[in-house]
Amino acid sequence: MSSWVPLEANPELFHEWSAKLGLDTQKCDFHDVYGLDEELLGMVPQPVHAVLLLFPLSPKIEERHRSEDETYAESLLASEILWFKQTDSAALKSVHATIAGEGQTAAPEAEDPVNLHFVAFVRGSTGQLWELDGRRKGPIERPMHVPHATDLLRVVAQFVQTYYVSYLSLILKMQTDPDQLQYNLIALGSPDM
């Protein structure tokens, strides 16, 4: 299996990456999410269709994911969500390779160790919150309800704060400086008006 160069958490890069794969960026675009409080979430154009989270991987989070994959095996297969493995498409790999070197910072080599990973969150047709991670066995239905499309970013922020930020801060604080934990949220929503 070949390695892929990690993408920078940059809305402009995701704009270009998605446009090359066919997204109509006149109808939706990527936006930085500057924080998890209501005021900062309110700065993001609505509705939000998906939220990308970049978070630090750790052995404990990997163990938690493996356990969830076993627990949620049935829902993984029954999902209404289009999901596929992270590295199973030649078109994705080609676009990814083109875009990965265009960030504001120098991209690492494909073989360099990187402990950061992206996942996406979307709203299902009946309001369920789905987490999409190409390294997992399938989409994971999270125990959060998203009543309307305009609630997705707020619900994801609550989930990320509880499941990722608080949990990882707790398990990693003894292993690293908690101020160095790296998170980033990018929302796919309406274009800026």
- Under 8 Å between Cβ of 144 and 155: yes
pLDDT at position 182 is: 73
pLDDT in tens, 42-72: 999 999 999 999 988 878 888 888 888 877 6
CATH topology of domain 11-189: Ubiquitin C-terminal Hydrolase UCH-l3 (3.40.532)
- Residue 74: Cβ-neighbour burial (10 angstroms; 0-12, 13-18, 19+): exposed
Residue 48, exposed/middle/buried by CB under 10 A (0-12, 13-18, 19+)? buried
pLDDT band for 174, please (50, 70, 90 cuts).
very low
- The tokens describing 178, both together, are 């908690």
Instruction: Check whether 74 has a pLDDT greater than 70.
Output: no
Percent of the chain with pLDDT over 90: 33
> E-strand spans in 4-160?
29-33, 48-56, 116-123, 128-132, 140-145
